[in-house]
Amino acid sequence: MSRQNIKEKRNENKRSVHPASIHLVIESPSKKTQISEMGYAQLVIGPAGSGKSTYCSSLHEHCTAIGRNINIVNLDPAAENFDYPVAMDIRELVSLEDVMEELGLGPNGGLLYCMEHLEDNLDEWLTEELDNYTDDDYLVFDCPGQIELFSHVPVLRNFVEHLQRKNFKVCVVYLLDSQFITDVTKFISGCMASLSAMIQLELPHVNILSKMDLAPRKKDIEDFLYPEPQVLLSELNQRMAPQFAKLNKSLIELVDDYSMVSFVPLDLRKSSSMSYVLAQIDTCIQFGEDADVKVKEFDQDEDD
């Protein structure tokens, strides 16, 4: 089945299965006139299983508790279960299951196809969906974990540029599982993936070390949260054969030049931790500049 046929099929499904979204636009025309002032958005990315969806649902819970407006958007065409109310859903446009079945693609090729389909439909689908939100709205995009999406495929870049044309200020929130800090080589490869997202997307960027409840000893964590480049280099040299010494030095210099060696820890057992992470992101996109934002420092010792 051709790409056009899939698009038509999804559009038909959307019209028949999701009348609510059409109804919203008709019922609230005044909202449309308020659009395009200034919106705020987080693009939540990171390796598969790094805790992106869990972060989104915890963020939703946190914002609900403090009375703050937030809308979580599912951008993963393969996602099935959600712990947050889904404000917008890519599966209304295209689903991985349909693509795999109809085009005979595997899960990764199918996902890339779905994301390209999204890219082709930014003007129609995304614009129409965004029209349901006003400048007061804060959107959080829960992305799939395929590294291609933020390394070399231009889909997310074009997606973000579309949001920016709609006057959204966007911050990349890159999650890295705390298990990456058990090994210096894993840590550097996680930094490299984050760096490629930085270069690819050119946006304000916050690195988060997720799953801190599973993190190893406290001393080891601190070494990686604010590591000294020289310490990282010496650990890397110890782990790798001597012929890699020059490459290791260049890698560490690169990571250091891009100020990559800085991660905000996220421990979902502590609400102060989520407050701190959110405050860092808000600062990046100047959200609530005029409001009185209270920031409490995340205290690592709080529950120790």
Ligand X SMILES: Nc1nc2c(ncn2[C@@H]2O[C@H](COP(=O)(O)OP(=O)(O)OP(=O)(O)O)[C@@H](O)[C@H]2O)c(=O)[nH]1
Residue closer to ligand X, measured from CB, 19 or 216: 216
d(CA 106, CA 112): 10
Which residue number, 53 or 71, has a Cβ lying nearer to Mg ion? 53
Phi, psi dihedral angles at 108 (to 5 degrees) = -75, -45
**213 scored as a contact of ligand X (CB under 6 A):** yes
**Residue number, 84 or 287, with CB nearest to ligand X:** 84
The two three-digit tokens of residue 75, written as one number: 């951008």
Residue 83 engages ligand X in binding (rule: CB under 6 A): no
Q: Which of 51, 77, 110, 227 binds ligand X (CB under 6 A)?
A: 51
CA 174 to each of CA 31, 264, 281: distance values in angstroms, whole numbers, following the listed order: 32, 10, 11
Host H or E run for residue 58:
helix 52-65
Give the bridge partners for 85, in sequence order.
none
Task: From 47, 255, 220, select the one nearest 148 (Cα to Cα).
Answer: 47
Helices (H), 182-228: 184-201, 218-225
Q: Which is nearer to ligand X, 42 or 53 (CB)?
A: 53
The reply to whether 50 sits near Mg ion by the rule CB under 5 A is no
Would you give the end-to-end CA distance of the chain in angstroms? Answer: 57
Instruction: Confirm if 57 and 72 have CB atoms less than 8 A apart.
Output: yes
Question: What are the C-alpha distances in Å from 83 to residues 24, 139, 183, 296?
Answer: 23, 16, 31, 26
Residue nearest ligand X (C-beta atom): 145
In whole angstroms, how close is the CB of 134 to ligand X at the nearest point? Answer: 28
CB of 142 to Mg ion, least distance (A): 6
Residue 123 is given by DSSP the state: I
Considering the complex, what minimum distance in angstroms separates the CB of residue 200 from ligand X?
A: 18
The answer to the question of residue 211 lying near ligand X (CB under 6 A) is: yes
CB of 53 to ligand X, least distance (A): 3
Nearer to ligand X, 49 or 204 (CB): 49
How many residues touch ligand X under the rule CB under 6 A: the total is 16
Under the criterion CB under 6 A, does residue 273 sit at the interface with ligand X?
A: no
> CA-based Rg of the chain, rounded to a whole angstrom?
20
Range 229-257 burial, b when 16+ CB lie within 10 A, else e = eeebbebbbeeeeeeeeeebeebbeebbe
146 interacts with Mg ion by CB under 5 A: no
- Sequence-distant (≥ 6) Cβ neighbours of residue 245 within 8 angstroms: 237
Looking at beta carbons only, is 99 or 277 nearer to ligand X?
277
202 binds ligand X (CB under 6 A): no
The residue from 39, 40, 41, 52 that contacts ligand X (CB under 6 A) is: 52
- Binding segment for ligand X among 59-67, 210-218, 238-246, 256-264 (CB under 6 A)? 210-218
Among positions 144-173, residues that touch ligand X (CB under 6 A) are: 144-145
**Piece of the chain touching ligand X by CB under 6 A; list 2-10, 27-35, 44-52, 270-278:** 44-52
How far is 47 from 193, CA to CA, in rounded Å?
Answer: 8
Among 76, 92, 129, 235, binds ligand X (CB under 6 A): 76
Per CB under 5 A, residues contacting Mg ion are 52-53
Contact residues toward ligand X (CB under 6 A) are: 46, 48-54, 76, 144-145, 210-211, 213-214, 268
